[in-house]
Amino acid sequence: MGAVGLGCWQLGADWGEVDEGDALAVLHAAADEGVTFFDTADVYGDGRSERLVGRFLRERGDAGLAVATKMGRRVEQVPENYTRANFLAWNDRSRRNLGVDTLDLVQLHCPPTPVYSTDAVFDALDELVDTDRVAAYGVSVETVDEALTAIVRPNVASVQIIVNAFRQKPLERVLPAAQEAGIAVIARVPLASGLLSGRYTATTTFALDDHRSYNRHGEAFDVGETFAGVPYDVGLAAVERLRPLVPGGVAMARFALRWVLDQPVTVVIPGARSPEQARGNAAAAALAPLSAEVHDAVREVYAELVAPHVHNRW
């Protein structure tokens, strides 16, 4: 079973305004609840998220915290930009932002598909490890096929992929293949951009600078990153079908995270915009595993309502 980490995209940008004090409070609240894995990227707020995590590390002074970052999305998304020279420059910038000499984990950030099959890319990543610039490297992917291509690379330490009750395709091949290869699985977008919190309705509005307003049809980046690619009205209907499965007194977000934790993942990385959210997410690890009957029911809702929209796309 996996552990609960913290995704830090929302501390940089694209989720509405989060001021610096609130961002740091979220990071500390998560750590206070036992969270030890923090996932960020150089593109989140053009480095703001990394810098905030770096300040948190200095304030915290705790051993045992691991920070994963990502690189590659600050340039035009063509394979030709994934070069050794760019990797070195991006790595230097992330190490400065985070205030560390060696990054715990650096991930290719959903690059163009051909990048996963390019030997020179992985040779350059190996060099980052050999020169102690990074302790390990992994990939963040959009599709199952991209994950399976990366998993066969001998030195890939992790694969990050969307896994939630609305995105179940990775359970078929990716998670078993990663297990067999001894590769960590980082499950992102576990709450389908908040849909699986059960708090949204047809009249819910989002800030103009929130990707849930401006990327519903993939206008800015892959639409699968927004509501897990599920049409908003379909997601709302599926949530209502799931709601009776949630144990009494348990927040739906905790239930949805528990569903992910019950899968063979290493860590799940929900985001949080307040300390209360961070604490609530961390508490999902203490919830008892869901029963086989509940898992069957979630699978049925997915098959009937959600799969037609997402299963063959990613």
- Answer yes or no: is pLDDT of 244 > 90: yes
DSSP E strand boundaries for the chain = 3-4, 6-7, 37-39, 66-71, 105-109, 137-140, 156-162, 184-188, 267-268
pLDDT in tens, 74-131: 999 999 999 999 999 999 999 999 999 999 999 999 999 999 999 999 999 999 999 9
DSSP state of 164: B
pLDDT in tens, 126-178: 999 999 999 999 999 999 999 999 999 999 999 999 999 999 999 999 999 99
- Answer yes or no: is pLDDT of 198 > 90: yes
Nearby residues of 166 by Cβ (< 8 Å), 6 or more positions away: 192, 195, 196, 228, 230, 235, 238, 302, 306, 310
Nearest alpha carbon to residue 108 among 157, 152, 73, 67: 73
- Domains of the chain by residue range: 3-310
Helices (runs of H) and strands (runs of E) counted in the chain: 12, 9
pLDDT in tens, 259-307: 999 999 999 999 999 999 999 999 999 999 999 999 999 999 999 999 9
| pTM, 2 dp | 0.96
Three-class DSSP category at 10: helix
* CATH 3.30.70.20 assigned to 3-310: no
pLDDT at 2 (0 to 100): 74
